[in-house]
Amino acid sequence: MKKTIFYIALTLSSLFAKEFNAPMQTYMQGLSAEAKTANPNFSGFDARRGEAIFTGVHMSKKGKDISCTTCHSTNLRSGGTNINTNKPILALSPSTNASRLSDVAEVEKWLRRNFNDVFAREGTALEKGDVLTYIINQ
């Protein structure tokens, strides 16, 4: 009986585990090393900081108030709309859209573009890691 309960618990925990795939784990380790170089007191990425970055309003490169939620919405399990092109954006949460956060090149491309659009600069390793940690937990 105890073995059965253990295996059920193990199976359920693996179903709800929020982990990056192997290439993304390697990417996150690189961001972590970069963040540690920038700040020796760095102790890990934080979803709360990531949420603050994702939802925070900033002056865009076009001079308008914008946040990540402007296009992606506050519910990452639903889609959004690009405010410049009116094109639909698929759900950002990997729990809803399994292809999200699965390809390092795509993640790097969109982080670069979106940080430039929202912050008018490239994101730091800490910011990128925090945002990715927030997203994967949605």
DSSP states of 84-128: TT--EE----TTT-TTTT--HHHHHHHHHHHHHHHHSSPPPHHHH
Put simply, whether the predicted model's pTM sits higher than 0.95 gets the answer: no
- Binning pLDDT at 50, 70 and 90, where does residue 100 land? very high
The percent of residues above 70 in pLDDT, for the chain, comes to 88
Confidence bin at 7 (pLDDT 50/70/90):
very low
What residue ranges do the domains of the chain occupy? 20-136
DSSP annotation string for 42-91:
-----HHHHHHHHH--EE-TTSSEE-THHHH-S-TTS-EE-TTT--EE--
pLDDT at 13 over 50: no
Which band of pLDDT confidence, cut at 50, 70 and 90, is reported for residue 6?
very low
Confidence of residue 61 (pLDDT cuts 50, 70, 90): confident
What is the domain class of 20-136 according to CATH?
mainly alpha
pLDDT at 128 over 90: yes
